[in-house]
Amino acid sequence: MSGLAPVRPKIVPGELAVEGVSKSYGALHFRKDVVQNCSFTIERAKLTVMVGPSGCGKSTLIRLLAGFEEPSAGRILLDGAPVSGPSRDRLVLFQETALFPWMSTWDNILYGPRARGELTRETLEFGEFLLAKVGLQDFRDKYPLQLSGGMQRRAELARAMINNPKVMILDEPFRGLDAMTKELMWEYYSRLYEENRRTNFFVTTDIDEAVFLADRILVMSNIPTQVRAVIEVDVPRPRKLIDIFENDRANDIKKQALSILHAEAMRSFSRGSKAAADFVEAYLKRASRA
């Protein structure tokens, strides 16, 4: 594969700034504030992971960042310029697969360049390179339904990366995979990130996933969503899976994040949130195991 290396185009990572963003649905007394005066930065060439209890408005934030919806207030800036509408600069990897079922792996990967009429020789070579990178050369002509869950996620990574997005947004991409495949995907994805150092924004509910992958962790509050804490994960790379169980620093970070999430969950638990109740239950189970 070393012969293919020169075709890799230069990657220009971007920086996304969220400034005082609010989003609400409905009107008058049916109004529901999902995101309220939320500010954070997704730093350039870093892997930022957002963790928060389920139903805390993370998916809403992603729709805002991707430009599928407009914020009710505040603004979102990519490298200083306000974002408007969906764009190849900010690509989303959705929960579960969003590969087009009627296209082969290869056609899925080439979707972006073909849509923009950029199907040059270099793009095709880059596509070949990515196909090899995600280890799907033997599955080039297979349909998504013929791929396993892990393969689908990798094909989708390739489909996004061929567009050279300035920011990659991943919405719980490894949800629904079995534990084994999930851990393999963590290792695979973090190796990929260490190689290319794009700006990545990764959303999850899994604290282990967050600690293993992240440069920075944003711990979110319950609805209406705000950032509760920003934790720098200074565990050296490349990381090994065993680190998240044995590395003291990783465990400290995990405890720190969990206690914030727990406090957050307890607060809304007293307000009767189902999501919070689930979280508290999961937290107690984890605590008894540790």
Partner 1 sequence: MTKLLFQRAFWRGALSVAIFLVLWEIGARSKVWMAPEYFAPFKDLLGAMGFKKDYLPWVGAVPAPSAVLKSWIAVLGMHGYWQSWYMSFFRVMGGFIAAMLIGIPFGLMLAVSRVAHGIGFPVFEVLRPIPPLAWVPASIIFWPTQEMAIIFITFLGAFYTIVINVLGGARSIDVRYFQAAQSMGSSSWDIFRRIILPGTLPSIVVGSAVGMGITWEVVVAAEMISGGGSQQAGTGGGLGFFIWNSYVGGSYEQIVVGMISIGIAGFISSELLRWGGRYATPWLRVR
Q: By the criterion CB under 8 A, which residues form the site for partner 1?
A: 66-68, 85-88, 90-92, 94, 98, 100-103, 111-112, 115-116, 142-146, 163
User: What burial class does residue 135 get, using C-beta atoms within 10 Å of its C-beta: 0-12 exposed, 13-18 middle, 19+ buried?
Assistant: middle
Bridge partners (DSSP) listed for residue 51? 204, 219
Nearer to partner 1, 142 or 228 (CB): 142
Residues ≥6 apart with Cβ < 8 Å to 58: 50, 52, 171, 203, 220, 225
Residues ≥6 apart with Cβ < 8 Å to 181: 148, 149, 150
Nearer to partner 1, 100 or 245 (CB): 100
* Minimum gap (Å) between residue 143 Cβ and partner 1: 4
* Minimum gap (Å) between residue 110 Cβ and partner 1: 10
For residue 145, how far is the Cα from the chain centroid? 23
Nearer to partner 1, 145 or 287 (CB): 145
The tokens 């070393």 sit on which residue? 2
Q: What are phi and psi of 52, to 5 degrees?
A: -170, 160
Nearer to partner 1, 112 or 127 (CB): 112
Asked if 189 and 22 touch (Cβ cutoff 8 Å), the reply is no
* Minimum gap (Å) between residue 91 Cβ and partner 1: 5
Nearer to partner 1, 39 or 120 (CB): 120
Nearer to partner 1, 115 or 230 (CB): 115
* Minimum gap (Å) between residue 173 Cβ and partner 1: 13
Nearer to partner 1, 104 or 190 (CB): 104
* Minimum gap (Å) between residue 116 Cβ and partner 1: 4
* Minimum gap (Å) between residue 177 Cβ and partner 1: 18
* Minimum gap (Å) between residue 11 Cβ and partner 1: 17
Asked if 204 and 52 touch (Cβ cutoff 8 Å), the reply is no
Nearer to partner 1, 50 or 147 (CB): 147
The first and second tokens of residue 13, run together, are 């990572």
Residue 45 CA to residue 127 CA, distance in Å, equals 22
Cβ atoms within 10 Å of 203's Cβ, excluding its own: 26
Q: In sequence order, which ranges of the chain are alpha helices (DSSP H)? A: 58-66, 105-109, 111-115, 121-133, 149-161, 179-196, 207-213, 243-246, 248-269, 274-289
Residue 22 CA to residue 34 CA, distance in Å, equals 8
The first and second tokens of residue 46, run together, are 């870093």
* Minimum gap (Å) between residue 33 Cβ and partner 1: 23
Residue 72 CA to residue 21 CA, distance in Å, equals 7
